[in-house]
Structures are given as structure tokens and as C-alpha cells.
Amino acid sequence: MTTADTTGTSTTADTTAENSTRGYYVTQGKAFDRDMNYIDDRITRDGRDGWPVEAGRYRLIAARACPWANRTLISRRLLGLEDVLSVGMPGPTHDMRSWTFDLDEGGVDPVLGYERLQQAYFARFPYYPRGITVPAVVDVPSKAVVTNDFQRITLDFATEWTEFHREGAPDLYPEAQREEIDALNKWMLHRVNNGVYKVGFAGSQEDYEREFALLWEALDELEERLGTSRYLMGPSITEADVRLFPTLIRFDPVYHGHFKANRQTLASMPNLWNYTKDLFQTPGFGDTVDFVQIKRHYYYVHEDINPTQVVPLGPDLSPLMEAHDRDRFETDTWGPGGAAPEAPLAAEVVDPAHTPLHVTGR
């Protein structure tokens, strides 16, 4: 294995990372299998992994296009961590090597001084063998990646960063419900969040039909569940809602057509659709969503699924701003003593042209 330098120049050392980073590929005759091995270091109050919680020390790298990164942007907003945890946002597309900071002036992250997220990974692991993924948390002093464990990052935001939570922040991971939340999150990961990818990247008709059936069985269960309470766990939002929303908000614009998950649109399922509208209109959720970046990412990067790289103009997303019916249920959105977050930081406001009333030209 040859070496790879830390400037972002690719050599054979990061061939695996290149293939993973470019986007998932359809393998003829094989089912989709996501690599779930991530850097599992944690940033904690006691710093037991060598990474203590500190204001200003870390930078969250989270592309708006990515659903796994989207959940970290939502959690950071809801908990009010903006002033203690800065954010870098790569653009919606990337090459085989890495996500790039092409939205920043000069194509360089203003805090890390990197053109590519790959450089933060190589600063710690010169031979890092897996995908250069978002979300990732980077240690600013060393400019080296700390973790990319998307399953753990938001849980630690909720439980380890409490010293810096805003006044009125919701308890997204209430102790009394953790066991049930964990079970639901695990089920949703395999059947819904990753389920859409299993459908979209199925390498055979048999694999596609099996995963299609499992995905819609799960969505039907969620439709039924959301017929009894406003949110997944009851009257208040929790980590479970933070994890489901990024998949649902991408469903009709991307997964329905691009991934062939097309039994029906989400908009035709009353509980799921009104739940999605409800969360989209809730501060901290919809204000993290950039539909132009989302569609650009999926339809442009996945060349094996969409070789022309043509990005569709539809669907019409303006109904997301229409009234929903979720207030028919018992509601305590922010929990006892909680309150909605303030407006996003000026530098983090989504381009109005990328929001539902404008993205389809209306």
C-alpha cells in the first residue's frame, strides 16, 4: 500500500476511501451493504477519550445535502450549540476523493484552512482506509478529525454538551425513554434511514423487491404510529424525530424517483405527510433544509443511477408550508420549561431561493 499525503493528493492508499466518498455504487447482483465502521472516539464532559467538551475547540463539518449530517445540524440548532460549536458546510457535490469546501471563499474552509475534508482525516490517519464522510467533528487546534460516528454525535450533543445548552433547550434523549428511543432508532436506521439506500442501490431485481417491501412495511408502521401521537415518542420532540425527519423530507424530491421507492408519494400518506410538514415548520428543522443542495447531490453524484446527471425541477414542495393537522394531539413540543430556538445565525440561513416556495420556480 502506497502512502497518501495530507494535502488531499490521492494515491493508492486511499482507494477505498475514494470509492466510498464518491458515492455509493450499484454492484450487479449484490444487495447494498453500508460500511458501518466509523471513528468511535467521543467528545465527553470527562474527556475520557482524550476529547473533553470545550467551547470553541471543535468544528462540525456537515453538508446540508447529506441526511446523516442534516440530523447534526438540527440537533445543534435545537440545543443552542451554535456559539460553542462552529460549523463548516461542504458543497453538495464531491469527487472521488472527498467532500470539498467549494461554497467558501476561495474554496477553503475559513477555520481549518482546508480545501477538502479529506485533509482533516489524513491529519490524524494518513492511511485512513474508509470513506471521508460527513458529519465529522474536527479538533480545531490540531485540525484533525475526532469522530465521524453519526450514530453517536447527536446523542452526545444531547447528553455531554449540557453545560452549553441554551435556556429552554428540549431534552431530546430523556432518560426514562432512552431504551425505547434506542430500539426505535435502530429499527428506523435499518428499515427506513438506510432502507431507502438498500432500495436505491439494489443490484438485482430480487434484492430490490425485497428491500422495497421492507421499506414500505416500515413506512406503513410509522404511518400507523403517528396516528396516535404528535411525535414519535409522544407529545414532545426527541432524538427519534431528529433522525426520521431528514429521511422523510428527502423522500418525495429524491427517494421516490431517484431510488425507485415509488409505491406512493409521502404526500399521499396523511399522518407521515402532516408530521413532515409539522416538523418542517418547526424552528430547528425546516430551517436546516436546502432542497437545491439535496437534489444536486443525489442526482449529480450518483452517476450509475443517473448517468446524465440531470437534476429534476420538481416536485412542487410548496405544500410543505400549508397547514397540518398535528395539533389534534396532546402537545408539549419543547418539553417542560422548554422553548423554541432563536432564529439561525445570519451566516447559516438557507438561501431563500432554495426553500419550498421558490425551489420549483413558483
Catalytic residue among 58, 128, 173, 197: 197
Strand locations in 26-176 (E)? 58-61, 86-88, 136-139, 144-147
Confirm whether 66 is a catalytic residue: yes
State yes or no: 51 annotated in a binding site: no
Cα–Cα nearest to 349, from 296, 297, 294, 286: 286
Please tell me whether the peptide bond between 110 and the residue prior to it is cis, using omega within 30 degrees of 0.
Answer: no
Amino acid letter for position 256 = H
**Would you mind telling me the total number of residues written for the chain in this entry?**
362
Confirm whether 127 is a catalytic residue: no
Cα separation values, 199 from 21, 35, 192, 202, 218, Å = 19, 16, 10, 5, 13
Give the integer Cα–Cα distance in Å for 16 and 37.
13
If 0-12 CB within 10 Å is exposed, 13-18 middle and 19+ buried, where does residue 272 land? Answer: buried
Q: Where are the alpha helices (DSSP H) in the chain?
A: 15-22, 67-79, 118-124, 150-159, 178-188, 195-200, 205-225, 239-249, 270-280, 291-301
Catalytic residue among 58, 66, 208, 298: 66
Summarize the annotated binding site as residue ranges.
Answer: 99
Positions annotated as catalytic residues are 66, 197
User: Which residues are known binding-site members for glutathione?
Assistant: 99
